Amino acid sequence: MADRVLVIGGGGREHALAWKLAQSPHIKQVLVAPGNAGTANNGKISNSAISISNHAALIQFCKDNEIKLVVVGPEVPLAAGIVDDLTGAGVRCFGPTAKAAQLESSKSFSKAFLDRHGIPTARWKAFTNPKEACSFITSTDFPALVVKASGLAAGKGVIVATNKEGACKAVHEIMQDKTFGAAGETVVVEELLVGEEVSCLCFTDGVTVAPMPPAQDHKRLMDGDQGPNTGGMGAYCPAPQISKDLLLKIRDSILQKAVDGMKEEGVPYIGVLYAGLMLTNDGPKVLEFNCRFGDPECQVILPLLKSDLYEVIQATIKRELSSSMPVWSEDSAAMTVVMACEGYPGNYAKGLEITGFSEAKELGLEVFHAGTAIKDGKVVTNGGRVLTVTAIKKDLMSALEEANKGVAAIRFKGAIYRKDIGYRAIAFLSNSRGLTYKNSGVDIAAGNTLVQKIKPLAAATTRPGCNAELGGFAGLFDLKAAGYKDPILVSGTDGVGTKLKAPSFRHTKSIIMALTTLCHNFFSLQQWG
Ligand code: AMP
Ligand code: GLY
């Protein structure tokens, strides 16, 4: 008999969770509350209007509808104790309890926990008094430039200042102007860490840790990591910057240590644990823990899960993860680009028509909806982050190319999106590819010796019209000398993979362009070398 499950939330992450759960043969229906236009009547998936904040009503709904599992997407219901209440009433619910979710819902709890268990993180101090926070910022001997509202602030409660004055201003904004409301009653002032950020998530049943492939989010609004922090503007997985060895180190020194620490403190952590890490020169350090899948990381991690998500979650809840470890694809990669409304992460308009879904589908892309709704039979915008366009391909470069094509196909007025998602992976892959002459099989010294030896022989073959010297990058041959009217042949004569196949051009400009391309390719290779 097939089961019915309920996913809580309405973002791109929840659409991806519903999409993956719907692939399970054990499942006959996936309800999503409140869901979005992408989860409304989409095969096995449909939306439910049940309130997610009234836990008593939710429990009754689950019992009436024989819901076998509730999967919670966002942090707010977890922090509000949805797992405690539903589990207590006999409804199976996936995620940490409210107490365990403090790893995300209270930054001051989380930082103190990290220190108690010797898990690497930025130096810090928590304050409830703005004056004390500012005097700490000005007097401490490390760059205390990161100011965080301790409570939940939808991923926006962190200010990374460029100087001490800016950090003090941030303290006043959070504590006195109450930019993030009650979440900012306590602030955490933290050392500025430098490095590349990655998201390392795992499933855990409170004892065993099953790492997911590492992903990288792009938190800033604009290309080149400029502009304000957002919930995330795009992601890819796996992040090649994290080698297998480094992932094992992260599993042992961060994820497993955190799970063991929670168990030791009598608050077993069951669910998905997300470590936001900075890869510093002193090794990976924790920027934050989240108690759930990341959004948009979920949209690139789940497509790589070969196992049945429903089975993995059930094993996790039953504390049998060690005998049912999830299996991940080794030969595919996923890339997702978030499309947002003009004005996001500030104010934005709603109700703008979105088109291009069928074109994106024809390209083989998955469009996970986030802030979308259906109005008069049309799909319209209904939130800041509107949707994510996901490409799943054999490697990152092809995924990147495909996701960008999909973004061009989807249209709504004022759509904003980053055009450089994955740029750090591209840089990493180009650097680590080791594109040198030597390892592409070319011995330059031996080549030069050969050139010197055969130069006189080659010179003996020259004829009128020929303008080439052995050892140069290209040769020209003026066909007039052979009785033709105008054309000149240009041919690459040097460089690894920079040959031109006997092209002929009428105009000098074209000849120069051809030579420039040849020389450019040659110098690019030299730079990589
Ligand atoms: P959080 O919500 O704590 O992950 O912070 C949001 C974002 O602020 C992170 O993704 C980082 O880009 C940045 N951030 C947080 N803490 C630090 C830190 N200690 N040093 C540098 N950047 C940070
Ligand atoms: N993408 C970051 C987060 O989900 O918190």
Checking if the pLDDT of 501 tops 70, the result is: no
Q: Comparing C-alpha atoms, which of 150, 194, 352 is closest to residue 283?
A: 194
Residue 98 is predicted with a pLDDT of 98
Ligand with smallest separation from the Cα of 286? 1
pLDDT, average across residues 35-50: 97
Q: What pairs with residue 74 in β-bridges? A: none
Task: Taking residues 440-447, report their average pLDDT.
Answer: 64
Distance (Å) from CA 354 to ligand 2 centroid: 24
φ, ψ at 266 (rounded to 5°): 80, 20
Residues 6+ apart with CB under 8 A from 514: 474, 490, 500, 503, 505
Residue with tokens 């004005």: 343
Q: How far is the CA of 489 from the centre of ligand 2 (A)?
A: 56
Looking from the CA of residue 294, the nearest atom of ligand 2 is 4
HEC string of 122-168 equals: CCEEEECCHHHHHHHHHHCCCCCCEEEECCCCCCCCEEECCCHHHHH
Give 141-190 pLDDT, tens digit per residue: 888 888 988 888 876 788 888 988 888 888 888 887 788 888 888 888 89
pLDDT tens digits, one per residue of 219-276: 999 999 999 889 999 999 999 999 999 999 999 999 999 999 999 999 999 999 999 9
Rounded to an integer, the average pLDDT of 56-81 is: 98
Q: Could you tell which of 110, 111, 158 is best to mutate to test the pocket of ligand 1, judged by most ligand atoms within 8 Å of the CB?
A: 158
Residue nearest to atom 2 of ligand 2 (CA): 294
Centre of ligand 2 from the C-alpha of residue 294, in Å:
4
Closest atom of ligand 1 relative to the 220 alpha carbon: 12
pLDDT of residue 473: 58
Proportion of the chain above pLDDT 90, given as a percent: 67
Question: Six-digit token pair at 10?
Answer: 């309405």
Please give the distance, rounded to the nearest whole angstrom, from the Cα atom of residue 214 to the centre of ligand 1.
17
CA distance 529 to 513: 24
The DSSP code for 439 is G
- Cα 200 to Cα 58: distance, rounded to the nearest angstrom: 32
**Ligand 2 neighbourhood includes 104 CB (under 6 angstroms):** no
Q: Which residues line ligand 1 (CB under 6 A)?
A: 122, 146, 148, 155, 158, 160, 190-193, 197, 219, 229, 276, 287-288
Rounded distance, CA 55 to CA 70, Å? Answer: 12
- As a whole number, mean pLDDT of residues 378-382 equals 98
